Amino acid sequence: MKISYHYLVFFVLLLINCHKNIPKPITPEIIPIPVSQTITEGTFILNNAVSVNYQDEFKSVANYFSEYIEKQYDITLTTAKTGAKIQFLKDDTLKNEEAYILTITPKEIIISASSAKGAFYGVQSLLQLMPVATNSKSMAIQCLEIKDSPRFVYRGMHLDVARHFFSVDFIKKYIDMLAMLKMNTFHWHLTEDQGWRIEIKKYPKLQEVAAYRKETLIGHYSDQPHQFDGKRYGGYYTQEEIREVVTYAAERQVTIIPEIEMPGHSQAAIAAYPELGCTGDTIEVATKWGVFEDIYCPKETTFQFLEDVIDEVVSLFPGKYIHIGGDEAPKKRWRNCAHCQQLIKEKGLKDEHELQSYFITRMEQYINSKGKQLIGWDEILEGGLAPNATVMSWRGTKGAVEAAKAHHNVVLTPNSHCYFDHYQSTHENEPLAIGGFLPLEKVYHFNPIPKELTKEEAQYVLGAQGNVWTEYMKTPEKVEYMIFPRVAALSEVVWSSSKQKNYDDFKKRLLSFFKRLDHLSINHANHLYELRGKPLYAKDSTFYILEAQISGKDIRFTLDGTIPTEKSTLYTAPIPITKSVTIKAASFDKKEQIGAVFSKDILKHKAINQTISLSVPPNPTYGKGGKEILINGIQGNKSRYGDKEWLGFDTDSVSITIDFEKPTAISSIITRFYNSVGSWIYPPKKYTVSLNNGFTKEVVLNTTSETTVKSRISIPKQTVKQLNITISCFGKIPEGEQGAGHLAWLFIDEIIVD
């Protein structure tokens, strides 16, 4: 009896131990979501006993895989001619060179592809099927079959290393982060007004002078007066370092597109070689952000300089594209330059825009003669597109539409959906950013094919890219915070088929992906536990709805301005609003607050829920909330003109009419306009208020540097049925400012009537 009891205990312990030794596989949660994925029975055990076999073509991918496993999991895989459990197989029936099939059974793992690119993406999916960490030198991987291929051939991320400079180590990490998400292009923005970052041996002053600025702007550009840190700042990549990065990227199937800006954003080069500019004056490397008037003068000596630069660049970068910038080149210097004006006459050009086109076309011929293709920002359309150019559409999608209709290839990087330097949350404590508002969800729902294009024209859309301008990103951690998780959303935009995409499912996979990022020491934002809200109008009453982005957690709120705790009121139904209040709310996981506190001022005023009409619609990109947001009791965020509470107009004027259901006594009107010169947003110079009884009043606004301009007018108390506000927008942006010559944007939020 005693013995058999001991045996029983022994067997039970053995069973428990055996069970412990067979780790459970993680649930497949791959980002970007594969085109097809079928889970099958069983698990594959990966440990030191597993060997790998590959055909020569896949050698570098197989090595990358083995090195990764060794580094992350301390599991050493051997190579074997026969009996290997992990096999890389060539499959020429896969017509897309980036496609792969990943088959995992209890006996083996097979990655089939027609090229190393496909095999590499098979590996990336396999890596995401592995646990974040294991210390048992053994892991179980879920059996399944994945058949996968990308939606777009161009899947890019850009990084500006000129506004702030980043080490070679970080550039490699950046490339790793792209590769992990099956992105295949790194657009390396190497030259700017604030610094030249690539060694050009023929022009040593680019290293000695152009690579350094004497100091840097402190705080935000719109904080006036400007202040500087007084510290010399800069650096550049040697050609040896660049070769090292190019090789590193190639091993990860990432092609690098170097950007050498011209004719604008070239103040650093002109600081080093003043003869490259129109005036010949000595200028300094820029110390603040913006658009600068000193641009390359199209002289023979300038072209010689640029061709020499291109020669060295071409020798470093094996990819087919050379990016020449082309954006934001003010024409003032060219207008006042005898040489430029003579050249315009001589070449029979109409104006300075055609001179820019001449400049770019000439550089294109040179670049083409070196066997490379030119790519540039959408300004290269102005004055006529160079014959073989690819266009990167950043000022919305208009440039993409125009270029694709003219049968030029395009890459979509619209600032409305692809600018990862914009804020990703409306929370006030968000780290300083340039402005705008680009939440994760908006990136996720981006469709790179503009709806104006026919199916045939859509063939010219190569893909999309996230842009990372680093004016407000001084450190790698900040860059990581700004790109993650938005780059993960973009990876599904450019890789996954639209049938497979599902935002709720993506958010769930993202929560697991965050653990992977944490383990890899990749910083990231997490706004998934932030709350959102919106008003709800019923007859004569207003409610406020709170929503979590991830379900299953408690929402608690207060109405007295205090921070919610686990004891605050549990949200179960829309909150009745009977007077102006501040709602503060947060998500709770039992007692623990998760995610930031949501705070919203809800105003009760006389225009709420009345009838509103506009003479012109807002631009669709900045009108998502509908015209009613002007009288919904909620003001826009002070630093996020992209939130739903602002309407953005790109017109000469706007007339807004509010019709009251009943005659209403009013005595004051408050309006607010957004002000961000750097984002081309200007408050109006004036507006006129008129009432249905004939009363009118004109209001002239003073210029200010605040991001929002509030305007309050008092009127003698009177009873009205209708109120009209007619706004004359700012008009053309003045010379010397960003976006000079374009119509300024007008952004307006709540019209508070009392």
Please give the residue ranges that form the binding site for Zn ion (CB under 5 A): 278, 297, 337, 339-340
Pairing of strands 696-700, 435-437: unpaired
Nearest of 413, 482, 420 to residue 450 by alpha carbon: 413
The entry of Zn ion, ligand ACM, none near residue 88 (CB within 5 to 8 angstroms by kind) is: none
292 binds ligand ACM (CB under 6 A): no
- Residues 360-379: x/- map of binding to ligand ACM (CB under 6 A)? -----------------x--
Comparison of 85 and 395: residue with beta carbon closer to ligand ACM = 395
Nearest of 630, 648, 643, 658 to residue 730 by alpha carbon: 648
Q: For ligand ACM, which residue of 98, 193, 293, 328 counts as binding (CB under 6 A)?
A: 328
Comparison of 561 and 736: residue with beta carbon closer to Zn ion = 736
Q: Closest distance between ligand ACM and the C-beta of residue 737, in Å? A: 14
The entry of ligand ACM, Zn ion, none near residue 723 (CB within 5 to 8 angstroms by kind) is: none
Comparison of 420 and 495: residue with beta carbon closer to ligand ACM = 420
The entry of Zn ion, ligand ACM, none near residue 278 (CB within 5 to 8 angstroms by kind) is: Zn ion
Nearest of 185, 177, 170 to residue 250 by alpha carbon: 185
CB 163 within 8 A of CB 235: no
557 binds ligand ACM (CB under 6 A): no
How would DSSP label each residue in 318-352? -SSEEEEE--S---HHHHT-HHHHHHHHHTT--SH
Q: What count of other Cβ atoms lies within 10 Å of the Cβ of residue 572?
A: 8
The entry of ligand ACM, Zn ion, none near residue 90 (CB within 5 to 8 angstroms by kind) is: none
Nearest of 55, 74, 311 to residue 201 by alpha carbon: 311
Nearest of 478, 490, 489, 491 to residue 522 by alpha carbon: 478
The entry of ligand ACM, Zn ion, none near residue 622 (CB within 5 to 8 angstroms by kind) is: none
Query: Which residues fall within 8 angstroms of residue 256, CB to CB, at 6 or more apart?
Result: 185, 186, 187, 188, 245, 246, 249, 317, 319
The entry of ligand ACM, Zn ion, none near residue 261 (CB within 5 to 8 angstroms by kind) is: none
Q: Closest distance between ligand ACM and the C-beta of residue 267, in Å? A: 14
How would DSSP label each residue in 280-323? -------SS-S--S------HHHHHHHHHHHHHHHHH--SSEEE
Q: Closest distance between Zn ion and the C-beta of residue 352, in Å? A: 10
327 binds ligand ACM (CB under 6 A): yes
The entry of Zn ion, ligand ACM, none near residue 329 (CB within 5 to 8 angstroms by kind) is: none
> Residue type at 3?
I
Tokens of 645: 């509470």
Comparison of 686 and 742: residue with beta carbon closer to ligand ACM = 742
Comparison of 291 and 340: residue with beta carbon closer to Zn ion = 340
What beta strand segments (E) does 504-617 contain? 531-538, 541-548, 554-558, 569-570, 575-577, 581-589, 592-602, 611-614
The entry of Zn ion, ligand ACM, none near residue 359 (CB within 5 to 8 angstroms by kind) is: none
Comparison of 205 and 299: residue with beta carbon closer to Zn ion = 299
* Residues 301, 281: Cα–Cα separation, whole Å: 16
The entry of Zn ion, ligand ACM, none near residue 327 (CB within 5 to 8 angstroms by kind) is: ligand ACM
Q: How far is CA 388 from the centre of its chain?
A: 27
Comparison of 88 and 377: residue with beta carbon closer to ligand ACM = 377
The entry of ligand ACM, Zn ion, none near residue 337 (CB within 5 to 8 angstroms by kind) is: Zn ion
Q: Closest distance between ligand ACM and the C-beta of residue 57, in Å? A: 38
* Residues 86, 53: Cα–Cα separation, whole Å: 6
Comparison of 327 and 452: residue with beta carbon closer to ligand ACM = 327
Comparison of 75 and 297: residue with beta carbon closer to Zn ion = 297
* Residues 5, 705: Cα–Cα separation, whole Å: 83
Q: Closest distance between ligand ACM and the C-beta of residue 158, in Å? A: 9
Q: Closest distance between ligand ACM and the C-beta of residue 377, in Å? A: 5
Nearest of 435, 461, 436, 457 to residue 447 by alpha carbon: 461
Pairing of strands 36-47, 195-196: unpaired
Q: Measured at the alpha carbon of residue 32, what is the angle toward residues 138 and 525, in degrees to the nearest 5?
A: 90
Q: Closest distance between ligand ACM and the C-beta of residue 692, in Å? A: 45
Q: Closest distance between Zn ion and the C-beta of residue 384, in Å? A: 19
293 binds ligand ACM (CB under 6 A): no
Q: Closest distance between Zn ion and the C-beta of residue 279, in Å? A: 8
Nearest of 94, 66, 87, 69 to residue 78 by alpha carbon: 66
Q: Closest distance between Zn ion and the C-beta of residue 287, in Å? A: 24
Query: Which residues fall within 8 angstroms of residue 346, CB to CB, at 6 or more apart?
Result: none
The entry of Zn ion, ligand ACM, none near residue 328 (CB within 5 to 8 angstroms by kind) is: ligand ACM
Q: Scanning residues 382 to 441, which ones bind ligand ACM (CB under 6 A)?
A: 394
Q: Closest distance between ligand ACM and the C-beta of residue 322, in Å? A: 16
29 binds ligand ACM (CB under 6 A): no
Comparison of 293 and 328: residue with beta carbon closer to ligand ACM = 328
Q: Closest distance between ligand ACM and the C-beta of residue 688, in Å? A: 35
Comparison of 160 and 749: residue with beta carbon closer to ligand ACM = 160
Q: Which residues pair with 585 in a beta bridge?
A: 557, 598
CA distances from 636 to 514, 537, 630, 672, 721 (A): 30, 19, 9, 9, 26
The entry of ligand ACM, Zn ion, none near residue 289 (CB within 5 to 8 angstroms by kind) is: none
Comparison of 394 and 598: residue with beta carbon closer to ligand ACM = 394
Comparison of 64 and 334: residue with beta carbon closer to Zn ion = 334
* Residues 714, 484: Cα–Cα separation, whole Å: 47
Q: Three-state SS for 87?
A: strand
Which letter does DSSP use for residue 561 in this model?
A: S
Q: Closest distance between ligand ACM and the C-beta of residue 746, in Å? A: 21
Total binding residues toward ligand ACM, as defined by CB under 6 A: 4
Residues that bind ligand ACM (CB under 6 A): 327-328, 377, 394
